[in-house]
A and B are shown apart, each in its own frame.
Chain A
Amino acid sequence: MTTQKEAKNIASQKRVYMDYSAGKPVDPRVIEELLPYMRSLYGNPSSLHSFGQEAKNALEEARAKVAQLINAEKKESIIFTSGATESNNLAIKGIAYRYKDRGTRIITSSVEHMSVVNPCKFLTTKGFEAVFLPVDQYGFVNLEALEKELTDKTVLVTMVYANGEIGTIEPIRDISKIVHSKNTYLHVDATAANGQVPIDVKNDGIDLLSLSSNDMYGPKGVGALYIKEGIRVEPSLHGGGQERGLRSGTENIHGIIGFGKAAEIARTEMQTESERLVKLRDRLIKGLLEPTRYSFLNGHATKRLPNNVSVRYSFIEGESMLLSLDIMGVAASSGSACTAKTLEPSHVLLAIGLKHEEAHGSLMFSLGKQNTEEEADYVTSLMPGIVKRLRSMSPLTPKELNE
């Protein structure tokens, strides 16, 4: 969004990054762990010789760390992928194709990531039926609707653990009980939640779980799919039979080692960091909403991801707010169409019942390890002025607000 000249100015100016759900820096300890491997580890884990076996050991060590993070029964339940999009595709299409004899109905929610929405829609062209369950004003999936739609012909229920746009954490255990009462499989997309909230696939009753490395400060381009023992999925990539034949191709070994280290760090530090983020989140929410009339919180006040701040301001549009913040060195994101490739506002914001113009006025700050109270206060100090200026330009603003 910035021109070159502005980018130069920003370098000498305050810069605040609050777009962690779009991309996170790699934890320096992950980089340290990774560097020796990048220098000297080049064997193929599938090779018999010692070079290959070194790589194989590193790969399996990383697998164990990821398994531990989610309390998987054994490390072999973890399949490494290229990221959460691939994990979601492998889970949804893999289960649907493998078990299509059991039924052709797939149930999901209306607040899923596009990497769940689109595989489900794709399957409707292959003889499957996709049901998108409604959510309430906070984004919680309607459990009665789930019970009602869950027929014997349902092959899979796929549900987001926590929505990345509005932060709402779904009642996964309740969902799991309902799903398993009909002997159906439950896939959970934990991309936004992993590393922020403790996930326990055994206690939560999860059959398949998608994870992403960068979302927990690991390298980009790596993810994982947990598949409970005994469940089969159709492979997504056919080839040399790596990853139990479900995902062929030589493993992205350096990415995976980094992912393993990131998972290990997340396991030990998640609780402390999440407690810190919750305080920071609530400070930012308060500071954004209190000074400005016609401003609202999207999502639920407490059942939300520790790092998610999603607010909306009436009468103005998200991208103008983003640009105004960017000029002041602050990076955030919006629920508006104008920043995306499509012209529609976010389907998540519409699903919670916002009108189009309300969805367009949404602004999201996703917090992370490097954010401080001082940064939160800097952002809240900017916002009233930005809102006032944009409202003074908007034909939708009621007259009394500009006086």
Chain B
Amino acid sequence: MYTEKVMDHFRNPRNMGEIPDADGVGTVGNPVCGDLMTIYIKVKDNHIEHIKFKTFGCGAAVATSSMVTEIAQGKTLEEAMKITRASVADSLGGLPPVKMHCSNLAADALHAAIEDYYKKQKEVKK
């Protein structure tokens, strides 16, 4: 059902955990649907310096979270905003069709974390 890449990320998730003093935090999903993920980012010079995730959900939810942190690490914020659900799924060698919608939320969580960072920056400037 899952590709080897998905299983690899499920078994050995990259960047799992929290960043207590994160510059941006994004949470998407809902435990009601069975998937909830949070992405934490540290930003330096407009680049994602550190990124971590926490996920409640199925194998695909864990693997996409792990994969999105791997892709986003070191990218500029603009580049990171261009990461899509589809590109995360492609990097994992594909996901079963039923998972494409419900469990493939990691890119959204990343975008939410970046938006949270921008929002906080604005507040600081004020």
Most interface-central of B60, B98, B99 (chain A CB within 10 A): B98
Q: Is B32 an interface residue (CB 8 A)?
A: yes
In whole angstroms, what is the CA distance A357 to B35 when docked? 9
CB of B34 within 8 A of CB of A393, answer no
In whole angstroms, what is the CA distance A5 to B6 when docked? 13
CB of B98 within 8 A of CB of A341, answer yes
In whole angstroms, what is the CA distance A54 to B54 when docked? 65
In whole angstroms, what is the CA distance A337 to B55 when docked? 16
Q: Is B45 an interface residue (CB 8 A)?
A: no
CB of B62 within 8 A of CB of A393, answer yes
In whole angstroms, what is the CA distance A337 to B30 when docked? 13
Pick from B4, B55, B58: contact of A395, CB under 8 Å: B55
CB of A357 within 8 A of CB of B31, answer yes
CB of A1 within 8 A of CB of B58, answer no
Q: Which residues of A contact B37 (CB under 8 A)?
A: 395
Q: Is B13 an interface residue (CB 8 A)?
A: yes
Q: Which residues of B contact A315 (CB under 8 A)?
A: 56
Q: Which residues of A contact B38 (CB under 8 A)?
A: 395
Interface residue range, chain A: 20 to 34
In whole angstroms, what is the CA distance A6 to B101 when docked? 26
Given contacts A317-B58, A320-B62, A338-B99, contact A343 B33 (CB under 8 A): yes
CB of A6 within 8 A of CB of B56, answer no
State how many residues of chain B have any CB contact under 8 Å with chain A.
32
In whole angstroms, what is the CA distance A12 to B111 when docked? 43
In whole angstroms, what is the CA distance A1 to B63 when docked? 14
| A:346-368 near B, CB below 8 Å | 355-357, 360
Given contacts A3-B2, A6-B7, A323-B10, contact A394 B55 (CB under 8 A): yes
Given contacts A337-B34, A338-B103, A343-B33, contact A319 B59 (CB under 8 A): yes
In whole angstroms, what is the CA distance A339 to B59 when docked? 10
Pick from B2, B11, B56: contact of A396, CB under 8 Å: B56
CB of B102 within 8 A of CB of A395, answer no
Closest to B32 in A: A356
CB of B4 within 8 A of CB of A1, answer no
Please give the distance in Å from A357's CB to the nearest CB on chain B. 4
CB of B32 within 8 A of CB of A393, answer no
CB of A345 within 8 A of CB of B56, answer no
Q: Is A327 an interface residue (CB 8 A)?
A: yes
Given contacts A336-B34, A396-B31, contact A5 B56 (CB under 8 A): no
In whole angstroms, what is the CA distance A24 to B11 when docked? 29
Closest to B60 in A: A338
CB-CB contacts of A314-332 with B at 8 A, as 1s and 0s? 0111111001000100000
In whole angstroms, what is the CA distance A344 to B34 when docked? 9
CB of B54 within 8 A of CB of A338, answer no
CB of B31 within 8 A of CB of A360, answer yes
In whole angstroms, what is the CA distance A396 to B102 when docked? 18
In whole angstroms, what is the CA distance A233 to B55 when docked? 52
CB of B10 within 8 A of CB of A345, answer no
CB of A338 within 8 A of CB of B36, answer no
Q: Which residues of B contact A3 (CB under 8 A)?
A: 2-4, 7
CB of B11 within 8 A of CB of A317, answer no
Question: Which residues in B have some Cβ–Cβ distance to A below 8 Å?
Answer: 1-4, 7, 10-11, 13, 16, 27, 31-38, 54-62, 98-99, 101-103
Question: Which residues in A have some Cβ–Cβ distance to B below 8 Å?
Answer: 1, 3, 5-6, 315-320, 323, 327, 336-339, 341, 343, 345, 355-357, 360, 392-396
Q: Report 20 cross-chain contacts, Cβ distance below 8 Å, ordered by A residue.
A: A1-B2, A6-B4, A6-B7, A315-B56, A317-B56, A317-B58, A319-B57, A319-B58, A319-B59, A323-B7, A338-B34, A338-B58, A343-B34, A356-B32, A360-B31, A360-B34, A394-B55, A395-B36, A395-B37, A396-B36
